[in-house]
Amino acid sequence: MISGHRGAAALAPENTLASVRKAAESGVSWIEVDTQLSLDGVPIVFHDETLNRCSNGKGKVADHTMAQLKTLDAGQWFSPAFKGETIPTLEELLDTCLALDLSLNLELKIHHRHQIEPLVKAVVTLIQQKAFPVDKLIFSSFEKEALEHCQALWPEVRRGFICEVWNGYSLDSLKSLDLYSIHIDHHILTPTIADSIKAAGLVLKIWTLNTPSKADRFFKMGVDNIITDKPDQFQVC
């Protein structure tokens, strides 16, 4: 019922292999990470559009090749203890999940619309090559179009729609995606919204809840999974 957000973003630099290991140590079986493409079309694990916040690089991720990204330090901004941590390729991330027996909620992070189709193609190709188990995988995205490509290319993998507003669309408009889950910003979730999601037969995940004392209130609304930066502070089940 608990997933580590960007690995375990409060415990280690987000979206690094160190963060994934911290999540595993805290006992969760699921993690969420973000993937996007390097300039040369390699899926890498990073959240922001630019390198500025979470590495010692500057400028857009999409303007750097994988080799260039690999020269950057993605740990020291968080703490000197993580100096030398690099931006993982998705392949490295998959290998780490397989080694630690972690299931993966993979967010297709879209900063540039022209990358939607190439990103999904590259991700699907890589994951199929690695023979990552389908039952340990969910594709998620804020972008309906990304999930449409996932559905077309690999329909067997479950799809989750991420949202931070609810009024702008209805569950009806998402029906064609044949979703498994809705991943909603916990700040906007109300019992009415939760009821409509559950009534549609969908799994309900919330992000990013870092206050364990609030968990019960959300579980009572029907929330199935809490995505948190602090998986060590929640009772994992």
Active site residues: 5, 47
Structure-derived torsion over alpha carbons of residues 96, 102, 107, 109, reported in degrees to the nearest 10:
-20
Q: Are strands 43-45 and 30-37 parallel, antiparallel or unpaired?
A: antiparallel
Smaller CB separation from ligand G3P, 84 or 169 = 169
Residue selected from 36, 89, 140, 151 as contacting ligand G3P according to rule CB under 6 A? 140
Name residues whose C-beta falls within 8 Å of residue 212's C-beta, 6 or more positions apart in sequence.
230, 233, 234, 235
Residue selected from 44, 110, 137, 162 as contacting ligand G3P according to rule CB under 6 A? 162
Smaller CB separation from ligand G3P, 83 or 187 = 187
Interface residues with Mg ion (CB under 5 A) are 34, 107
User: Which positions from 101 through 120 interact with ligand G3P, judged by CB under 6 A?
Assistant: 107
Smaller CB separation from ligand G3P, 68 or 210 = 210
How many residues lie near ligand G3P (CB under 6 A)?
10
Residue selected from 21, 183, 186, 230 as contacting ligand G3P according to rule CB under 6 A? 183
Q: CB of 206: closest distance to Mg ion in angstroms? A: 13
Residue 236 one-letter amino acid: V
Which residue has the closest beta carbon to ligand G3P? 207
Residue 154 one-letter amino acid: W
Residue selected from 22, 47, 64, 159 as contacting ligand G3P according to rule CB under 6 A? 47
Exposure letters 106-134 (e unless 16+ CB within 10 A, then b) = bbbbbbeeebbeebbebbbebbeeeebee
Smaller CB separation from ligand G3P, 9 or 124 = 9
Q: Binds 158, which of ligand G3P, Mg ion, none (CB < 5 to 8 A, cut-off by type)?
A: none
Binding flag, residue 149, ligand G3P (CB under 6 A): no
User: Which positions from 192 through 231 interact with ligand G3P, judged by CB under 6 A?
Assistant: 207, 227
Smaller CB separation from ligand G3P, 68 or 148 = 148
User: Which positions from 69 through 108 interact with ligand G3P, judged by CB under 6 A?
Assistant: 107
Pattern 1-20, binding to ligand G3P, x per CB under 6 A? ----x---------------
Dihedrals phi, psi of 80, to nearest 5 degrees: -60, -25
Site residues (CB under 6 A) for ligand G3P? Answer: 5, 32, 34, 47, 107, 140, 162, 183, 207, 227
